[in-house]
């Protein structure tokens, strides 16, 4: 499988996880009492999220479908690191404000209708991406001023064009800049606030993954 298919698969996994957790987060906000941590979101062990991958459609959207074949070595050879940026108090980001903020951190709208941060000017060297938490995950710039977007996922697929820890640091820095400019909240892939301790843990996981993966 070539690099494009790996990126497609990565986008699908991230978008499905982001939409799933955001839906659980909204439901939990309604059901929780004031004493509960509204952002203490965990995977339900009984839930079985179907594995999906995106198909790049004629309208440049990302459609999630079930894969036609298994990739038994995917988990061992690839790692997806995800952060989520969500508007405060159940609000949404104005689409045009969000796009301006993404462009302000050097991201460009491109393949699959999502935003990419490249290493240099080579569009094939994608360090990390940004997808909407609204299905199908892509951004339609033709009517972006009319859109309200509750949150986005930033994600990187390892191995990538730069050192994993370096790419993660770039993504976290970009995420914290977005949080400031959008007055938003930053979470990890499980819906927990991204603390300094959690950030360090994820970074160590990346270093360990690359060490175990070895060269090539």
User: What single DSSP character describes residue 161?
Assistant: S
Is pLDDT at 147 greater than 60 in this prediction? yes
Give me the mean pLDDT over the 82-93 stretch: 95
Nearest to 140 by CA among 104, 115, 171, 116: 115
CB-CB contact of 17 with 82 (8 Å): yes
pLDDT of residue 76: 59
For residue 63, what pLDDT is reported? 40
For residue 146, give its domain range: 3-213
Place of tokens 């952002």: 39
Average pLDDT of the chain, as a whole number = 76
Total tally of structural domains belonging to the chain? 1
Which residue stretches of the chain are H helix? Answer: 3-31, 74-77, 95-104, 164-182, 196-213
CA distance 120 to 34: 47
Write out pLDDT tens, residues 101-122. 999 999 999 999 999 999 988 8
What the block records as the tokens of 201 is: 């843990």
Distance CA 110, CA 115 (A): 6
Least-confidence region, from 11-20, 92-101, 106-115, 159-168: 11-20
Query: In the structure, what pLDDT confidence band is assigned to residue 17 with cuts at 50, 70 and 90?
Result: low
Tokens standing for residue 214: 């070895």
Please state the rounded mean pLDDT for residues 37-63.
Answer: 33
Model confidence at 33, pLDDT cuts 50, 70, 90, reads very low
- pLDDT(158) > 50: yes
Query: What is the model's pTM?
Result: 0.68
And the tokens for 151? 């949150």
Condensed to tens digits (0 to 9), the pLDDT of residues 166-183 reads 999 999 999 999 999 999
pLDDT of residue 213 exceeding 90 = no
CATH number of the domain that residue 190 is part of: 3.30.1400.10
Closest CA to 52 of 112, 111, 9, 2: 9
pLDDT digits (tens, 9 = 90+) for 55-70: 334 443 444 333 333 4
């Amino acid at each position: 499988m070539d690099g494009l298919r790996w990126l497609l698969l990565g986008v699908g996994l991230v978008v499905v996880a982001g939409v799933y957790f955001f839906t659980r987060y909204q439901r939990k906000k309604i059901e929780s009492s004031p004493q509960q941590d509204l952002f203490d979101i965990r995977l339900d062990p009984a839930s079985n999220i179907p594995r999906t991958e995106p198909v790049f459609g004629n309208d440049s959207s990302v459609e999630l479908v079930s894969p036609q074949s298994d990739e038994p070595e995917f988990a061992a050879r690839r790692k997806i690191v995800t952060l989520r940026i969500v508007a405060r108090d159940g609000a949404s980001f104005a689409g045009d404000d969000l796009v301006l903020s993404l462009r302000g951190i050097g991201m460009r709208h491109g393949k699959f209708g999502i935003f990419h941060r490249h290493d240099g000017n080579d569009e094939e060297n994608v360090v990390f991406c940004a997808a909407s938490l609204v299905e199908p995950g892509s951004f339609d710039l033709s009517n972006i001023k009319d859109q309200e977007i509750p949150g986005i996922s930033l994600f990187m697929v390892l191995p990538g064009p730069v050192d994993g820890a370096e790419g993660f640091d770039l993504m976290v820095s970009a995420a914290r800049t977005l949080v400031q400019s959008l007055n938003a909240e930053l979470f990890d892939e499980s819906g927990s606030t991204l603390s300094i301790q959690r950030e360090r843990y994820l970074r160590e996981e990346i270093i360990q993954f690359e060490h175990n993966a070895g060269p090539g």
